[in-house]
Structure 1
């Protein structure tokens, strides 16, 4: 993980399930709420960063769950989790999680070989899903989520699925816990984050290129959204995640006063 510090867990269109091994994960929301050391973490969709504190080393398994995957595995829509950080045994109702899945953290901890650990996780996931009836979002909701994530306007998506904007907002919010507009913002941010990550790994980060390619009006718009959703500007995130990148200068690197609680140098890994 690099030097000890705080890693930003960035918003995305996927729910996150983390199963740490050896040591529990120290995680909270960026402002410090809901902080605890947990042996499993399930988080719903969120429009704000999480903070993962580490001593320079972490091991475990992390899964990204689509909204449909959350229904299949946990038996609940993403909205049921809200903006929560929970352990598997804290899911409500208690019967929502398969027994094998609830005991997976301790089983992982007692298993030394990584091949056996991964096989254990796979068996638990398949077993949990096999015990549930097929439960997918309404086809209109699934269609709407796909269109919203691609950048179509809320009005156009509502017209395509044959709903009013109000009904679309109600249905999407009930499925995700986010409104269509917020989900769109998170989806565009995720695309921008992935592109910036790719460019940074190639040693040529360009905020102008990211803004132009991901639908932001300009660099200033991109930076405002990053400050809002990631808790820092993209230039600051680059310095934290890729301190070795020497791009002179990163376009749009005027951080401004984002008011965020800036973490120490973070690991060179992708945040989700």
Structure 2
């Protein structure tokens, strides 16, 4: 998992800067994307971490990551503060406080790799916005974080983290195996980019819709329909981001048609649920982050 690109830092005047370093994920498909991030001298702000089909694992290399289900919670006494973030699949935005300076490594983890890499099924992370990483990975995770902080180069950090995850995957039998029907169901939804039907999916894996939904939710924490919507939104959001990064206005009607939405209004509905904003309002809020490269690798907290 070595670095493949360093995005150009975005500077505000002479003091502020942002850096995103992308690494090629290790083989096996468990880690979908890996991004190192660092910012300095920025005006403190509140960021929306969007739902996606992937779990989130963040090792902060600076202060704790502060989150909440609402802006008031994220900025108030009930905020969740942790140095290592583990986030399950969720259906609404998480609000993340962006301080004046921050740094970390963020991984997007495939839900069906949760048993191997995290030691539990993804469903056990459902219901909570985030979980302290030491509660999931054990106290050794705190040592891993300290070793990551001691490294000077992103390449060394990614190599060390890759070795740690490989050791965990080698001991994967401790958390049991994913049922093959669930694995094939997820792969079928991914091939259809979330546009397939539950009837077609259940026929493909030779289970009733009710039985498949129960097994799927017990493993991932979401139903097949919810997973399909997350996948479809992920592809639609990526198309919006690409258009904005290229300096063009997103054609939402075409994006909706190309990404399997019934119509434009259904895409707008998903944006409103998953971001709390209309597509145009979300683009306006995130434009600078998009141009800085903060939405380019499958990671959806976009530190």
Q: TM-score, normalized by length of structure 2?
A: 0.74
Deviation for aligned residue 1:181:
1.3
Query: Which deviates more, 99-108 or 219-228?
Result: 99-108
Label 1:55 to 1:88 Cα distance change in 2 as closer, same or farther (>3 A).
closer
| Map of 2:108 onto structure 1 | 64
Contact 1:192 1:211 in 2 (8 A): yes
Q: 1:45 touches 1:177 (CA, 8 Å); kept in 2?
A: yes
Partner residue of 1:220?
A: 265
Q: What is the aligned counterpart of 1:45 among 89, 101, 107?
A: 89
Which residue of 129, 133, 147 corresponds with 1:107?
Answer: 147
Preserved CA contact (<8 Å) 1:14 1:45: yes
Separation in structure 2 between the aligned mates of residue 232 and residue 3 of structure 1, nearest angstrom: 22
Give ranges in structure 1 of 5+ residues lacking alignment: 92-96, 246-265
Native 8 Å contact 1:4 1:54 kept in 2: yes
Alpha-carbon RMSD across the aligned residues, in angstroms, is 2.4
Offset at 1:113? 3.8
Higher RCO (CA 8 Å, separation ≥ 6 residues):
1
Q: Give the aligned partner of residue 294 of structure 2.
A: 269
Query: Within 5 A, what are the aligned runs for 1:1-272?
Result: 1=18, 3-30=43-70, 32=73, 35-84=79-128, 85-91=130-136, 97=137, 100-133=140-173, 135-149=176-190, 150=192, 151-204=195-248, 205-242=250-287, 269-270=294-295, 272=300
* TM-superposed deviation, 1:267: 7.2
Over residues 19-76 of structure 1, what are the superposed CA-to-partner deviations in whole Å (9 max), with x where a residue is unaligned? Answer: 1112221222235376222110000111111111113543111111102221111121
Runs of 4+ residues over 6 Å off in structure 1: none
Q: Deviations along 1:245-268, whole A, 9 cap, x unmatched?
A: 9xxxxxxxxxxxxxxxxxxxx976
SS of match in other structure, 1:103: helix
Q: State the match for 1:256 in structure 2.
A: none
Secondary structure of the 2:164 match is helix
Contact 1:26 1:53 in 2 (8 A): yes
- Count of residue pairs brought into register by the alignment: 247
CA contact (8 A) 2:52 2:230 kept: yes
Cα distance in structure 1, aligned partners of 2:216 and 2:172: 23
2-side partners of 1:244 and 1:47: how far apart? Answer: 22
Deviations 1:158-217 (A, max 9, x none): 111111111011011101111111111111111111111111111122212211111122
Return the TM-score normalized by structure 1.
0.82
**Which structure dedicates a bigger proportion of its chain to strand?**
2
Instruction: Pick which of 202-211 and 25-34 moved more.
Output: 25-34
Q: Are the structure 2 counterparts of residues 104 and 244 from structure 1 closer, same or farther at C-alpha, using a change threshold of 3 Å?
A: closer
2:115/2:172 contact within 8 Å kept = no
- Cα pair 2:134 2:140 within 8 Å, conserved: no
